[in-house]
Amino acid sequence: MKWLTPVEVIPSAYKIEHSDPVMMIGSCFSESIGEKMIGLKFTVDLNPFGILFNPSSIKLCLDRLIEGEVFRRDELIEHNHLWHSFLHHSRFSSLNVESTLTNINERLTYSSSFLRKMHFLFITFGTAWVYTHKKTGKVVANCHKIPAAAFDRHLLSPEDIVKDYRELIGRLKKVNPNVQIIFTVSPVRHLKDTAAGNSLSKATLILAVHQLCREGLATYFPAYEIMLDELRDYRFYADDAIHPSNVAIDHIFEKFAAAFFNNNTSQLNRRIEEILRALEHKIEFPQHPSVKGFADSMLKKIEALETEYPLLDFEKERKYFLGLITTQK
């Protein structure tokens, strides 16, 4: 019997290597995949504005990176003793306005430069529902727990999204002609929009993305479909029954790797994973003579990798294994 519906993932014509600059922007699903890539030592700029959900906010943020225009103090708002930006996740917020502004602009400057040299841009849409701040008339990426009465809420249409992203992709290609753009739709369920509202939202996003792909402006990775069909069971969700579980993320990442990594990259990943797994090895008796041999072996593997791939940084891992040797003295 077949216990799942396999989702065919077409291998990408463009493969990602560890030296390729990759930007990932969008919902918390992009964080899950991006963090895995960072762990494997890929060159990733992950969500320079923090987690973003709707296409309008993501476009505004990418526009800002293209322009490279730093944020001004009058673009921040204060609420509940914290300073926020409506285009940023609360991870950028703080009690001090200057600190908030500095953190935002340092990241913007870095990511604006990164955007111009990136080889891949992954955009993950989470919802087509958009909130507009009544006082300013501007679309917000995060409401920062400000009362709902301060915002208007509406659903984007597929036509709205396609129009915006045709223009955005044209601007991106002018500053970075060689970038490959890949869309995904997040499998995270937005049940605050109600189950029906979430379905309507996801359908809107999928219609828009597939139109952009038909026009040859981007390609699509079916993360949403893998979760919906291959992993159609609540055991593949986290305890909140909304986010994919770690097992589900691992499975989707395997299919992502099959689509975007060539054999050499996959082999390098396995060598890196061996070192990462060694970090998780429980050392019950640090003074045991075998620990030094274990640490020496890992240090030699790190040295070999850094010699072959000078771009890779194993400073944290090296410190850990050197620390194990120190315990022997």
- DSSP assignment of 134-174 equals TTT--EES--TT--GGGEEEEEPPHHHHHHHHHHHHHHHHH
Last residue of a domain, one of 242, 261, 280: 261
241, 216 in Cβ contact below 8 A?
no
Length of the chain measured in residues: 329
Q: Where are the beta strands (DSSP E) in 204-293?
A: 219-220
253, 184 in Cβ contact below 8 A?
no
Last residue of a domain, one of 261, 283, 298: 261
Q: Are residues 256 and 294 in the same domain?
A: no
Q: Are residues 257 and 275 in the same domain?
A: no
Q: Are residues 296 and 194 in the same domain?
A: no
3-state SS record for 301-321: HHHHHHHHCCCCCCHHHHHHH
Q: Are residues 172 and 294 in the same domain?
A: no
Last residue of a domain, one of 261, 294, 317: 261
233, 161 in Cβ contact below 8 A?
no
The pLDDT of residue 328: 60
Q: Are residues 56 and 190 in the same domain?
A: yes
Q: Are residues 205 and 294 in the same domain?
A: no
Q: What is the pLDDT of residues 304-326, one digit of tens each?
A: 999 999 999 999 999 988 888 77
Which parts of the chain have pLDDT scores under 70? Answer: 1, 327-329
Rounded to 5 degrees, what angle do the CA atoms 14, 15, 20 make?
105
**Domain of residue 280, residue span:** 271-326
Integer Cα distance of 328 and 127 in angstroms: 54
Integer Cα distance of 95 and 79 in angstroms: 10
The pLDDT of residue 223: 93
Q: Are residues 293 and 220 in the same domain?
A: no
Q: What is the DSSP letter of 228?
A: I
- Contacts for 198 with CB less than 8 Å, ≥ 6 apart: 127, 189, 190, 191
Domain assignment of residue 294, yes or no = yes
Q: Are residues 90 and 204 in the same domain?
A: yes
Task: For CA atoms 159, 28, 242, 183, give the dihedral sign.
Answer: positive
Q: Are residues 192 and 290 in the same domain?
A: no
164, 55 in Cβ contact below 8 A?
yes
The pLDDT of residue 1: 63
The pLDDT of residue 321: 87
Count other C-beta atoms under 10 Å from residue 117's C-beta.
14
Q: Which of 44, 24, 39, 21 is nearest to 314 (CA)?
A: 39
Query: Given the structure tokens 């014509």, which residue do they identify?
Result: 13
Domain assignment of residue 146, yes or no = yes
